Amino acid sequence: EAGVAQSPRYKIIEKRQSVAFWCNPISGHATLYWYQQILGQGPKLLIQFQNNGVVDDSQLPKDRFSAERLKGVDSTLKIQPAKLEDSAVYLCASSYEDRVYYEQYFGPGTRLTVT
């Protein structure tokens, strides 16, 4: 079974530029999560999708971050414009359903450096 795929693995941009990350969850997983992991900290949930609907985006900085999950499969997370404090690893995870009983499987992450 293929795991959660993310691309790119690394990205370096200048502040005020835009960037997009892509995630392909495990086949059949209805729930998809995007986390932000700042160096030295634990992951923080940015947004949670159930199929193609948003369940929770309360911690997503909506003035600059946006995310979508068209057709309930792949998802993209966009930052526009980027700030220095957005430098972090962005992790995508998926689970079978949006219940804590189901394990979340994580992708390798995208490391973003904003200069």
Partner 1 sequence: AQTVTQSQPEMSVQEAETVTLSCTYDTSESDYYLFWYKQPPSRQMILVIRQEAYKQQNATENRFSVNFQKAAKSFSLKISDSQLGDAAMYFCAFGYQGGKLIFGQGTELSVKP
Residues at the interface with partner 1 (CB under 8 A):
3, 31, 33, 40-45, 48, 55-56, 89, 91, 93, 95, 97-104, 106-109, 111
Q: Looking at beta carbons only, is 64 or 105 nearer to partner 1?
A: 105
* Residues in CB range of 99: below 8 A, 6 or more apart: none
Q: Looking at beta carbons only, is 45 or 81 nearer to partner 1?
A: 45
Tell me how far, at minimum, the Cβ of 80 lies from partner 1, in Å.
25
> What whole-number distance in Å separates Cα of residue 14 and Cα of residue 6?
21
Secondary structure (3-state) at 58: coil
Q: Looking at beta carbons only, is 25 or 109 nearer to partner 1?
A: 109
Contact 88, 37 (CB under 8 A): yes
Tell me how far, at minimum, the Cβ of 64 lies from partner 1, in Å.
23
Q: Looking at beta carbons only, is 30 or 81 nearer to partner 1?
A: 30
Tell me how far, at minimum, the Cβ of 16 lies from partner 1, in Å.
27
Tell me how far, at minimum, the Cβ of 4 lies from partner 1, in Å.
9
> What whole-number distance in Å separates Cα of residue 50 and Cα of residue 94?
10
Across 25-86, the runs of DSSP E, i.e. the strands, are: 31-37, 44-50, 53-56, 65-68, 75-79
